[in-house]
Structure 1
Amino acid sequence: MSPTSVRLRRAAMVALLTGTLVAPCTAGAAPASVPSAPAAGTPGPSPSGPDVRPLSPDVTRQLDASVRRVMREAKVPGVTVGIWTPGQRGYVRSFGVADKETGRRMTPDLYTRIGSETKTFTVTALLQLVDRGKVRLDDPIGRYVEGVPNGDRITLRQLAGMRSGLFNYSEDDDFFAALTSDPQRSFTPRQLLDYAFRHPVLFQPGQKFSYCNTNLILLGLVVEKESGQRLGDYLKQHILDPAGMKDTLLPKGSAFPTPHAQGYTDQTANGEVAETAGWNPSWGWAAGAMVSTLEDLRIWAPTVATGELPDGRRMISPATQRQRLVTPATPIPGAGYGLGIFDVQGWIGHNGSLPGYESLTIYLPATRTTLVVLLNTDIDHDDEEPSTLFGQAITEIISPRHVFDLPAAPAAR
């Protein structure tokens, strides 16, 4: 796949859940089986100085100006940014409008759809089942779900690490037509898998990195099968409630708590911009349907990056968390992907994107700094996702030794 015009016909939905960690299936990458692969977050030559600059009034003014510049250039209606480092002044700002028609302002308390950040929760659930002895990361997916191509060879680890070789259902033409013809339509996990499994595998398991939403649908089914609970119920009981994340959920259907921003997308059948707050995200399910808030994502960033709950209890055992954070290289320079989590120049976390909304939740262990960016559009600017533009602009100011630079790959979009 190449030009942006093509993605509107075939691959529009690839960008919705992938963030920008999509790689062409022909691109080479360090295989997951090579534990010595360098952590992609290890920066090369970089400016001297602290890992994170204190948020002085001058730095705050620079941030305000930079965020406004990106908004103007990328035509972003509204964005909220939160930055926190223990022992330092925090930064929480909202800019622009939540609704272009009414002029309602963007505010930090709004619910938002978080797209592929959902993957971090689904994989966390899987890793908890590993800790409980319910599953093993090197089990074949065929042990839990029937009918998976190469199901006797693809492991749960390869699914979580985006190295399965399965076809991404969101690239299927019929799926795209079904979704864009009726954005309120509900999809079941099995329907999503049917779109994927009609295609041959792209490569043998473990050979390379290829971002694929099909992987997470399968892992969601594993969590349900081995826990005996619906995925949303499991996440609430075992992850969200223990972390104190009272405003995060995997909704049923198109449920969207209020207040929330209106979303704006050009990921439509005709390429025209549409409002998306009422669209049904069920097609993303375990790969991208969750809803959250700025404050909850502030909690989640260090929790998922360390495996430790805010009260000091373990969410994931240290041994399992270490496996999660092995991030073999991807075809994107400076970016590695572990088990449902990335490392970009030392920032650990995930981004998310689906029609009308983008998010970025990342954590810098060196200084325990959290950065969260939430916006109400997914419309690219010069083949770059706006959440990446914000992430880069902000980190160039606050952490010049660790600049979040996750370039879009138009050939993979």
Structure 2
Amino acid sequence: MPLTPAPRPRPDAGPRAGRFRLRPGLRPGLRLRIRPRLRRPSLVALLGASCLGGLLLAPTAGASADGGADGRGERALQRQLEELVATPGGPPGVIVVLQRDGSPRVLRAGVADLESGRPIELTDHTRIGSTAKAFSGAVALRLVQQGELSLDSTIGDTLPRLPQAWWPVTLRQLLNHTSGLPDYSEDQEFLDLLLADPRRAFDPRRLLDFVADQELRFPAGSRYQYSNSDNIAVALMAEAATHKTYEDLLRRIVYRPLGLTDTSLPLGYEMPEPYMHGYAVAPPAPPEDVSEALSASGVWASGGIISTPRDMTRFIRGYAAGELTSREILHEQRRWIRGASEPAGPGRNRAGLAIFRYDTRCGVVLGHTGNFPGYTQLIAATPDGRRSLTFSLTTQVNARLTPDLVERLRTIEENAVCALLGPRRG
């Protein structure tokens, strides 16, 4: 998709200078080739509500269930994963981790890297997309338990530099996406800057400046609307309350207590080794590796975390069970309202405080989804944390890019929940 650059900004120009304009008549969604020839839909999806994107692959010899999956549910799920990988536009690789009380069962299809052909491992790094919002929720709820924040703390109380029109918004409303904050990732000037340089290093603590001239989209608390701005504000409130960086809070409050040894929040574009390569898949073009095409600084607390299937499993088991907070705060977290994660998870979706409830035909799990160019994630666990599911794809799937594939994926995810829980009784 061709771009027409505006005149270069002056050296003293502000952060909104240097816009790039689309040529008249071009629509968002047309293909754009940017480093390394990243396609336009992948970038659009990153900057839209989902957070931050072909080749027909046959099932690979490495597609297997570790330890020999027993039970018809796991065997059927394995076949569905192989069929998903073989679908035009499907992911080059997928890994599913089912854990009950004991050791995890690992099902996988496809590969971690199309060049080497190696299978995805539990210790392969991946961009977790909006599942990072659950991490910011974990930090915030722990600080509420410690008395350093309250669910009724407002933007005006903690972040008075932000627009006065936003001051009434509470931490609770940020965590359940009823704040009404305008979404910075949909701002045209933010998009223009990222299109001009996908690896641009943003100041993550100034991301909300892109929409600081906008009013709330609706009265705070009046309705649900998923917004990447919400979790940026959550992280900023946590920093303001503790005088510690968000990255330090993640290490102290989340990583160490839950034993997450391979999880981090970088600001650059590099992926730590080993990693599952993420691909933009749009047949008939061949898949293109977009693992390191974008800087994580543009999503930060809303979607920039890198983790592994092993660490994500540890996280969701502890987070869903409330290991990082109190029973009272857990009760507040589970006040469900109408709202779906992005992309939607399996079954019926309802929103809590930085967690979603997925009511499936086989039972209830709590968790979060996420996607980022090259990656799609689901993490979920039973409310007691004793059974968990981690589902990672090496391409981006969401309603904006691939609506048909989203519905197929949701069906497979629900089948994975049933393989985890067994059929509902009674």
- Please indicate the TM-score interval, normalised by the length of the shorter structure: 0.7 to 0.9
The question of whether the paired residues in 1 share the 8 Å contact of 2:320 and 2:385 is answered with no
2:119 to 83, 105, 119: 105
Residue 132 of structure 2 is aligned to residue 118 of structure 1: yes
Structure 1 position 323 matched with structure 2 position 332: yes
Structure with greater Cα Rg: 2
Structure 2 distance, partners of 1:251, 1:222, is 20
Equivalent-residue separation in structure 1 for 2:318 and 2:274 (angstroms): 25
- Between the aligned partners of 2:385 and 2:275, the Cα distance in structure 1 is 31
TM-score, normalised to structure 1, is 0.78
Q: 1:300 aligns with which of 303, 315, 323?
A: 315
Gap change, CA 1:246 and 1:231, over 3 Å in 2: same
Whole-angstrom distance in 2 between the partners of 1:64 and 1:175: 41
TM-superposed CA distance for 1:227, in Å, is 1.7
2:368 to 337, 350, 369: 350
The answer to whether 1:388 aligns with 2:397 is no
Matches within 5 A, 1:78-93: 78-86=93-101, 90-93=104-107
Q: Does the 8 Å contact 2:52/2:373 carry over to 1?
A: no
Q: 1:391 to 1:399 in 2, by over 3 A?
A: same
Equivalent residue number for residue 339 of structure 1? 353
Contact 1:66 1:394 in 2 (8 A): no
Q: Which amino acid aligns with 2:417?
A: T
Q: Percent identity?
A: 30
Q: Is 2:78–2:108's contact at 8 Å kept on the other side of the alignment?
A: no
1:204 is matched with 219
Please list every run of 5 or more consecutive structure 1 residues that lacks an aligned counterpart in the other structure.
20-54, 309-314, 403-413
Following superposition, the deviation at residue 297 of structure 1 comes to: 1.4
Q: Shift of the alpha carbon at 1:56? A: 2.4
Corresponding residue of 1:158:
173
User: What CA distance in whole angstroms lies between the structure 1 residues aligned with 2:70 and 2:117?
Assistant: 31
The CA RMSD measured in Å over matched residues stands at 2.9
Alignment of 1:6-405 (within 5 A): 8=41, 13-17=47-51, 56-73=70-87, 74-86=89-101, 90-145=104-159, 146-148=161-163, 150-265=165-280, 274-278=288-292, 279-308=294-323, 315-330=324-339, 334-345=348-359, 346-365=364-383, 368-379=386-397, 380-385=401-406, 388=410, 390-399=412-421
Paired residues of 2:90 and 2:395 also in contact (CA < 8 A): no
**Which structure ranks higher in relative contact order (CA pairs < 8 Å, sequence separation ≥ 6)?**
1
Letter in 1 for 2:184: Y
Structure 1 Cα separation of the partners of residues 82 and 206 of structure 2: 42
- TM-superposition CA deviations, 1:49-97 (whole Å, max 9, x none): xxxxxx624333212111112222252101111001126x742023212
| Partner deviation per Cα, 1:21-66 (whole Å, 9 max, x = no partner) | xxxxxxxxxxxxxxxxxxxxxxxxxxxxxxxxxx624333212111
Which ranges in structure 2 are unaligned for 5 or more consecutive residues?
Answer: 1-26, 31-39, 54-68
Q: What is the CA distance between 1:112 and its match in structure 2?
A: 0.8
On the 8 A contact 1:131/1:316 being kept in 2, the answer is: yes
Letter in 2 for 1:302: R
Rate the CA distance shift 1:151–1:246 in 2: closer, same or farther, 3 A.
same
Q: Could you list the per-position Cα deviations for residues 234-285 of structure 1 after superposition, in whole angstroms to 9, with x for gaps in the alignment?
A: 1112221111111111123234221002211369xxx996422222111111
SS of alignment partner, residue 150 of structure 1 = helix
Distance 1:389 1:13 in 2: 26
Q: Is the 8 A contact 1:11 1:172 kept in 2?
A: no
Amino acid at match of 2:81: V
* Deviation, structure 1 residue 377: 0.6
C-alpha contact 1:80 1:92 (8 A) present in aligned 2: yes
Q: Is the 1:94–1:108 contact (alpha carbons within 8 Å) kept by the matching residues of 2?
A: no
> How far apart are the structure 2 equivalents of 1:113 and 1:12?
12
- Give, as a single letter, the amino acid of the residue that structure 2 aligns with 1:17: C
